[in-house]
Amino acid sequence: MFINGYTDFSVTKTGVLSNAYIGLSFRLDRDVGELFPYINKEIPTSRFHDEPEYIQFVLDEKLCSIYPMEVIAAPFQDPDQARNFVPRIIDFLNDLHERKGTLKTDHRKYKPLSVIDIFKLLPGTNCRQCGFQTCTAFAAALSRNMTSPSKCPYFSTPISSNAVYPIYDKEGNLTSTVTIEAENPGEGKRDAVETDLTPREVEVLALVATGATNTEISKKLFISPHTVKSHIIHIFNKLGVNDRTQAAVVAVRKEII
């Protein structure tokens, strides 16, 4: 058996509304980092992060973050449900290890694109046709895969099927390129599902999914904490959730962010 046990199991309450949910964490008895490329291939919506290295994905409606020797997951209704999920995670990892000889790997890491490089592709006119207030805001959203190049009518046409976009200087000379990965050129993840979230609500949701507080979101987006709270309430209503963690799970599962 690849994984034989775990230690340091703990649960914590999470959530800002009356219905608090439970998050769990525990340590594995061995390093599972070698499985990350297999998970990355097996679960298309997973995100393989670097520095620190960990992988995040949804399993049985639970948002799981697995580090080399630690597991974090949420949401759960109570501590018993959280503890009962531990064998599920371990079985998933053991099964993957047992089958890895027949599986393919994906070693690509999830790395947000440089906002500065994306901005170079835009007209800089702040025309708002993309749904964002400024070209900088659109570039920031695109760097986090919260929108797609097709939303900007002035976006350059890619020069290869891998969505490699050209950057030209004022004289029209090609100076560099930016590669924007997507399943189809010009189609971002947010186009994969139907949602009535506004561009600003998607921005807020993306920050919520990272664990940012209302105050932190307020500072990052230059809006008041009251406005952030209002956006979050609207997000909860539109997604049919009661909790920030639930919202993050839905956002990842439905590929909204």
Residue ranges per domain, the chain? 6-102, 112-191, 193-257
Predicted pLDDT of residue 29:
95
More confident of the two residues 219 and 144: 219
Asked if 174 contacts 167 with a C-beta cutoff of 8 angstroms, the reply is yes
| Residues 110-120: tens digit of each pLDDT | 766 677 878 88
Lowest mean pLDDT among 36-40, 105-109, 121-125, 155-159: 155-159
Would you state the pLDDT for residue 124?
84
- Residue 60: partners with Cβ closer than 8 Å, 6 or more residues away: 85, 88
Q: Dump pLDDT digits (tens) for 77-88.
A: 889 999 999 999
Handedness of CA 77, 96, 98, 3 (dihedral sign): negative
CATH of range 193-257; options 3.40.50.150, 1.10.10.10, 3.20.20.140, 1.20.210.10: 1.10.10.10
For residue 252, what is the enclosing H or E element? helix 244-253
Q: pLDDT > 90: what percent of the chain?
A: 25
User: At 245, is the pLDDT very low, low, confident or very high (cuts 50, 70, 90)?
Assistant: confident
> Which of the pair, 172 or 70, is modelled with greater confidence?
70
222 Rama sector, left if φ>0, alpha if ψ -120 to 50, beta otherwise = left
User: How do residues 170-213 score in pLDDT, each as one tens digit?
Assistant: 666 655 556 565 444 334 444 334 457 888 888 888 888 777 88
Q: What is the arithmetic mean of pLDDT over 28-41?
A: 96
State the CATH class of domain 112-191: mainly alpha
Predicted pLDDT of residue 188: 40
Look up residue 27 and give its amino acid: R
CATH architecture of the domain with range 6-102: 2-Layer Sandwich (3.30)
Whole-angstrom distance, CA of residue 137 vs CA of residue 223: 13
Q: Which of 24-33, 158-167, 227-236 tops mean pLDDT?
A: 24-33
Helix, strand, or coil (residue 7): strand
Highest mean pLDDT among 79-93, 127-141, 153-167, 235-249: 79-93
Q: Which two tokens mark 84?
A: 């009962």
Residues sharing a CB contact under 8 Å with residue 108, sequence separation 6 or more, in sequence order: 40, 48
pLDDT of 70 over the 80 cut: yes
Q: What is the pLDDT of residue 94?
A: 97
- Check residue 97 and give its pLDDT: 96
